[in-house]
């Protein structure tokens, strides 16, 4: 029995226990790491994420009335009950908004029926690995199937992003939802955030004796919400002052020529975005040539740009990255929104234990919370799970 099948049968029996009937659909969606292309999805950039093996699974059963009940395997005491007619942005229990926001974002959602919904979230929370996108995309995938909505993956990504932007109130871009829906085993996805066009870029590093270590710094700085919105606003300010549709529409050389009119901070923010867009395309070329030394260098440059120009790193992430590099990593960088969360390091497979130990003791020496480590191969995106055979 495959892992997905055992996951499906677990959640089916949990659902029956919680609601006294079988679910009509079970679906799952993964979290993600981003190889490179950080904080540029909302500037129409290219990004290069892959889906990880950790998933959120959801089971949904239709009801004859208009009641919506949302329960979670991880929070057995917290059943949230509302009605299809009461869905409104920024209302209800914060954790249930990720689920109900997706329902709300479905066109003509009032024509759906009531539902019982059970969530089993196995993407590490707060680690910057997009547990929220995994939750939204698992629900969207299940609803698309259950009500035969025929919504394509691009529109599902836009719909789940809208749920998070408006219903949850987080001004995220479209990378996390897109990769959670469209991920492919064995590949990173070159995603054009302007039109959601994708290209699979094989990411197979084991045969080179390499490993991508994911380091959860366990830091969560409270700047997170305001800091993210502030960075988006500075990119919009740069775009307005430069008179261009988006930061995608200016080269690095042009920015250095035309950016003199921008104030210093706005210029630095724009510089990160424009140089990061170039690094993504250079990383694709490096990956296609299996040139991992160049890929590592680009990861380091991305981190420096996020730390110095975009200022979204933090001491814990910098320490994880610097220690990994001091231990021989080909490259390392923070991933995701920043101000905490995870970093990745491209390291030789034989050095995994040594790098982990060095990072753990560097954290201990500074009295930082102990970091957590993960590895994951690029995995498939969201899917409906069928009954075990």
| 101 near ligand GLA, judged by CB under 6 A | no
User: Edge to edge, what strands does the sheet with 46-47 contain?
Assistant: 46-47, 187-192, 197-202
Nearer to ligand GLA, 180 or 323 (CB): 180
Distance, CA of 308 to CA of 367 (rounded, Å): 24
Q: Catalytic residue positions?
A: 176
Per CB under 6 A, contacts with ligand GLA among 176-195 are 176
| 30 near ligand GLA, judged by CB under 6 A | no
Q: Give, in order, the Cα–Cα distances in Å from 318 to each of 180, 300, 332, 352.
A: 27, 11, 10, 19
We find the least distance from the C-beta atom of residue 317 to ligand GLA, in angstroms, to be: 13
- The most distant pair of C-alpha atoms in the chain lies apart, rounded to whole Å, by 66
Q: Which of 31, 36, 39, 203 binds ligand GLA (CB under 6 A)?
A: 39
We find the least distance from the C-beta atom of residue 369 to ligand GLA, in angstroms, to be: 21
Q: Which of 15, 36, 38, 316 binds ligand GLA (CB under 6 A)?
A: 38
Nearer to ligand GLA, 84 or 99 (CB): 99
| 49 near ligand GLA, judged by CB under 6 A | no
We find the least distance from the C-beta atom of residue 49 to ligand GLA, in angstroms, to be: 9
We find the least distance from the C-beta atom of residue 336 to ligand GLA, in angstroms, to be: 4
Q: Which of 25, 27, 33, 41 binds ligand GLA (CB under 6 A)?
A: 41
| 336 near ligand GLA, judged by CB under 6 A | yes
Parallel, antiparallel, or unpaired: how do β-strands 46-47 and 67-72 relate?
Answer: unpaired
Distance, CA of 114 to CA of 127 (rounded, Å): 33
| 378 near ligand GLA, judged by CB under 6 A | no
Q: Give, in order, the Cα–Cα distances in Å from 322 to each of 46, 290, 330, 370, 376.
A: 26, 24, 11, 16, 22
Nearer to ligand GLA, 103 or 175 (CB): 175
Q: Which of 48, 156, 159, 175 binds ligand GLA (CB under 6 A)?
A: 175
We find the least distance from the C-beta atom of residue 44 to ligand GLA, in angstroms, to be: 12
Parallel, antiparallel, or unpaired: how do β-strands 49-62 and 25-34 relate?
Answer: antiparallel
Neighbours of 120 (CB within 10 A): 20
We find the least distance from the C-beta atom of residue 232 to ligand GLA, in angstroms, to be: 8
Q: Which of 33, 106, 172, 179 binds ligand GLA (CB under 6 A)?
A: 172
| 337 near ligand GLA, judged by CB under 6 A | yes
| 340 near ligand GLA, judged by CB under 6 A | no
Footprint of ligand GLA (CB under 6 A): 38-39, 41-42, 172-173, 175-176, 336-337
């Amino acid at each position: 029995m495959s892992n997905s099948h055992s996951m499906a049968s677990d959640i089916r029996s949990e659902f029956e226990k919680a609601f006294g009937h079988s679910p009509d659909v079970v679906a799952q969606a993964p979290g993600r790491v981003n190889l490179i292309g950080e904080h540029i999805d909302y500037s129409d950039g290219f990004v290069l994420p892959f889906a990880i093996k950790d998933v959120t699974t959801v089971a949904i059963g239709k009801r004859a009335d208009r009641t919506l009940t949302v329960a979670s395997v991880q929070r057995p005491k917290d059943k949230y009950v509302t009605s299809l007619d009461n869905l409104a942005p920024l209302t209800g229990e914060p954790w249930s908004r990720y689920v109900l926001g997706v329902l709300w974002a479905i066109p003509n959602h009032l024509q759906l029926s009531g539902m019982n919904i059970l969530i089993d979230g196995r993407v590490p929370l707060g680690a910057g690995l997009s547990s929220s996108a995994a939750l939204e995309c698992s629900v969207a995938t299940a609803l698309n199937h259950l009500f035969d909505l025929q919504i394509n993956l691009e529109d599902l990504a836009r719909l789940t992003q809208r749920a998070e932007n408006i219903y949850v109130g987080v001004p995220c871009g479209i990378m996390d939802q897109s990769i959670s829906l469209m991920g492919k085993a064995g590949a990173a996805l070159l995603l054009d955030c302007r039109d959601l066009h994708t290209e699979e870029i094989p990411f197979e590093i084991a045969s080179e004796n390499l490993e991508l270590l994911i380091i959860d710094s366990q830091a969560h700085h409270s700047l997170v919400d305001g800091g993210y919105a502030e960075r988006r606003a500075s990119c919009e300010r740069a775009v307005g002052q430069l008179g261009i549709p988006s930061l995608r529409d200016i080269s690095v050389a042009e920015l250095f020529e035309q950016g003199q009119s921008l104030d210093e901070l706005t210029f630095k923010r724009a510089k990160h975005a424009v140089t990061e867009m170039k690094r993504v395309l250079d990383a694709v070329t490096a990956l296609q040539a299996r040139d991992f030394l160049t890929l590592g260098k680009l990861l380091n440059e991305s981190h420096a740009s996020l730390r110095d120009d975009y200022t979204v790193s933090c001491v814990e992430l910098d320490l994880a990255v610097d220690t990994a590099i001091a231990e021989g990593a080909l490259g390392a960088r923070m991933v995701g929104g920043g101000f905490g969360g995870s970093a990745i390091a491209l390291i030789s497979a034989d050095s995994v234990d040594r790098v982990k130990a060095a990072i753990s003791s560097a954290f201990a020496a500074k009295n930082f919370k102990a970091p957590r480590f993960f590895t994951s191969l690029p995995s498939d995106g969201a899917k409906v799970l069928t009954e075990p055979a």
